[in-house]
Amino acid sequence: MFDRKLNLPALLLFLVLPAAFSQKATSPGSAQPGQPLLRIAAAADLQPVLPPLLNEFERKTGIHAEASYQSSATLATQILNGAPFDLFLAADLSFPQRVIDAGRAEQTSAVPYARGTLVLWTRNDSGVSDLSLDAMRGEAVKTIAIANPEHAPYGRAAHATLEHLNLLDDVQPKLVVAENIAQAAQYADSGNAQIGFISLTSALTPRLKADGHFIRIPGEDYPPIVQGAVSIRGGSTRAAQQFLEFLHSPETAQKLAAAGLEPIH
């Protein structure tokens, strides 16, 4: 179990930082009367990626899509408690499987749609002159942001990396635990952590590219982050299927790759 450490300035920053790292968001505008609506439960790593894709999907299909961004565990719990979503885009395959096992999904197995990449990011003014995994052991690094491994697949990947490299015991007291990967990026960017394990999707946003730099965590250091989707029973199944087809189109695959998600066909 990880200790949670967050100071008062962090709480204030959490309330006032722009929507780039907000916990929940929807696509711009709202559905017109009589317009089909697709409600998406989206993993937090998709927050920098989905909005333009939702707009393009609406232009192509006439379906207005709205997304709510949280950790995959939080979204799975909401769905199991009856939240009115049509499609669940999780950051791994295990949380859609929970929805399937509970009889709340249309599919019998999750549909892979992308593969995520874990990176280590720091601000340019963090005082960490040589960003590396081994540098986390040093006294210069006092705080490290990580998404909660119990709730967030990217947090699991970061935890697996630390264990694989025998770093966990050394850095455990330095960890600042966030609810999800978007919040981990917020902690690192706000200065409440010197460095952070974040998603490539966050690291490639204009804000974080301007504020800092990153290194990719070698793929052999953590299990693959295969992101999976399921449509929710009782929801708009046809619209959900149309969006999954849209995600797997060659044009969208290129955009996913440019935003930090390796497409899966």
Is the pLDDT assigned to residue 238 strictly greater than 50? Answer: yes
pLDDT digit string (tens) for 145-182? 999 999 999 999 999 999 999 999 999 999 999 999 99
Q: How confident is the model at residue 15 (pLDDT cuts 50, 70, 90)?
A: very low
pLDDT digit string (tens) for 73-95? 999 999 999 999 999 999 999 99
**Judgement on whether residues 217 and 236 belong to the same structural domain of the protein:** no
- Per the structure, the complete domain to which residue 71 belongs is given by 19-115+224-263
Q: Is the Cβ–Cβ distance between 76 and 186 less than 8 Å? A: no
In a domain, 257, yes or no: yes
Is the pLDDT assigned to residue 8 strictly greater than 50? Answer: no
Is the pLDDT assigned to residue 51 strictly greater than 80? Answer: yes
DSSP conformation class of 32: P
**Judgement on whether residues 87 and 107 belong to the same structural domain of the protein:** yes
Longest CA span, the chain: 60
Q: What is the mean pLDDT of the chain?
A: 90
Position 32 scores a pLDDT of 72
In a domain, 1, yes or no: no
In a domain, 2, yes or no: no
**Judgement on whether residues 106 and 144 belong to the same structural domain of the protein:** no
Give the angle 186-191-196 at the CA atoms, nearest 5°: 60
What would the two tokens of residue 160 be?
């697996």
**Judgement on whether residues 91 and 141 belong to the same structural domain of the protein:** no
Is the pLDDT assigned to residue 108 strictly greater than 60? Answer: yes
In a domain, 93, yes or no: yes
Please tell me the pTM assigned to this model. Answer: 0.87
Position 263 scores a pLDDT of 86
Q: For the residues 19-39, what does the mean pLDDT come to?
A: 62
Q: Is the Cβ–Cβ distance between 192 and 122 less than 8 Å? A: no
Is the pLDDT assigned to residue 191 strictly greater than 50? Answer: yes
**Judgement on whether residues 63 and 87 belong to the same structural domain of the protein:** yes
**Judgement on whether residues 123 and 164 belong to the same structural domain of the protein:** yes
CATH label of the domain that carries residue 162: 3.40.190.10
- How many residues does this entry show for the chain? 265
Is the pLDDT assigned to residue 25 strictly greater than 90? Answer: no
**Judgement on whether residues 236 and 160 belong to the same structural domain of the protein:** no
Q: For the residues 42-63, what does the mean pLDDT come to?
A: 97
Which residues neighbour 109 within 8 Å (Cβ) at sequence distance 6 or greater?
Answer: 97, 100
Position 35 scores a pLDDT of 83
Is the pLDDT assigned to residue 13 strictly greater than 60? Answer: no
What would the two tokens of residue 103 be?
């009889």
Position 4 scores a pLDDT of 46
Q: How confident is the model at residue 29 (pLDDT cuts 50, 70, 90)?
A: low
Position 265 scores a pLDDT of 66
Number of domain units in the chain: 2
**Judgement on whether residues 161 and 231 belong to the same structural domain of the protein:** no
C-alpha span between 94 and 108 (Å, rounded): 13
- Burial label for 202, CB within 10 Å (0-12, 13-18, 19+), is buried
Position 31 scores a pLDDT of 66
- Greater pLDDT, 174 or 1: 174
**Judgement on whether residues 151 and 109 belong to the same structural domain of the protein:** no
**Judgement on whether residues 24 and 92 belong to the same structural domain of the protein:** yes
**Judgement on whether residues 177 and 50 belong to the same structural domain of the protein:** no
Sign (positive or negative) of CA dihedral 24, 26, 31, 35:
negative
Is the pLDDT assigned to residue 18 strictly greater than 70? Answer: no
